[in-house]
Amino acid sequence: MDVGNHLVTGCAGFIGSHLCERLLEDGHTVTGYDNFSSGKMEWIEELKKHPRFTLIQGDLLDPEKLKEVVAGKDVVWHLGANTDIPGGTENPRLDLEHCTIATFNVLEAMRSTGVKDILFASSATVYGESISLPARESAGPTLPVSLYGAAKMACEGLITAYCHLYDLRAKMFRFGNVIGARMGHGVLHDFIVKLRNNPKKLEVLGDGKQVKPFFLVEECIDGMIYAFTHSDAQYDVFNLGTDTSTNVMEISEIVMEEMNLQNVEVTTTGGARGWPGDVPKLEYDITKMKTLGWQPKHSSSEAIRIAIQRLLKHL
């Protein structure tokens, strides 16, 4: 990838802050854009000292400001969105505004300023429960069961339409469960917090049999960059994750091992889902990324152990 001028929306988030670090390491100039609704200033304190990094605090729902920020950029990495899937159930406008409308505003800013390349953080939640596993990008119809998944699906449709109508170029990535340091929520984070508060008891949401593919944040970023630099398609969608999965009970055991805890009473709240909109089982087909020449270095369980070790140092 030629050295360029990049915009990262959601720059102060878990994935966004790591992405900014990688882009700077690769020699790019980076502008970060965030409203800090979920991102943390502490995660980008070192970035702010870098001569090739500029932070702009703003909202993706402010189209005029967004046009000013997008203008002159070579690439837009669009990661900014609501990250609280259960919260979106309680406030149905959350994902509509902060995923779908926000993405429309980004695309309009690109169209009006002549910026052509967008990399979009979609999600495996677009698959819902209606498809056979392992999930492939060509599976359909995709019928999401969460408002977050529905919003991400709508964003993918908007992006492909803008590519077709206005000659944009896009790579869309359906992430598995991305894990690592700086996680502010999620099963690994929640288990650690619960066990620090009470090392004798752990409550697991659902029945503990939920199965998901987990992979490290640096491998997520590496995969995005690899697809951007190796795929010639004008627009395309990729499953980005691992083709191995781990269930929630196995995660609890790894957390307890890494925390050196024994004789912990583990209870479940019952039911197949951990929360409304949760997809109890997801297995990934990453053949498309493998054919391109990329795959993660760690299995789901290996990634979980590494991420827990990092979280224990920082939480």
Say what angle helices 147-166 and 102-113 make with each other, to 10 degrees.
10
Does CATH number 3.40.50.720 belong to domain 5-178+213-240? Answer: yes
pLDDT of amino acid 246: 96
Beta bridge partners of 214: 177
Per residue in 245-270, pLDDT (tens digit) is 999 999 999 999 999 999 999 999 98
Q: Which residue has the higher pLDDT, 278 or 130?
A: 278
Per residue in 15-24, pLDDT (tens digit) is 999 999 999 9
CATH architecture observed for domain 184-212+244-282+299-314: Alpha-Beta Complex (3.90)
Residue found under tokens 């409203």: 35
pTM for this structure? 0.95
Per residue in 170-194, pLDDT (tens digit) is 999 999 999 999 988 889 999 999 9
Mean pLDDT of the chain: 95
Tokens coding 156: 């993918």
162, pLDDT greater than 80: yes
Domain locations along the chain: 5-178+213-240, 184-212+244-282+299-314
pLDDT of amino acid 131: 74
Per residue in 265-296, pLDDT (tens digit) is 999 998 888 877 888 898 989 999 999 999 99
Residue 45's φ and ψ, nearest 5 degrees, are -60, -45
pLDDT of amino acid 205: 92
Q: For residue 295, give the H/E element and its range.
A: none
- Gap between the Cα atoms of 219 and 224, Å rounded: 9
| Of the candidate ranges 45-49, 127-131, 224-228, the one whose mean pLDDT is the lowest | 127-131
Count other Cβ atoms within 10 Å, centred on residue 133.
15
pLDDT of amino acid 48: 95
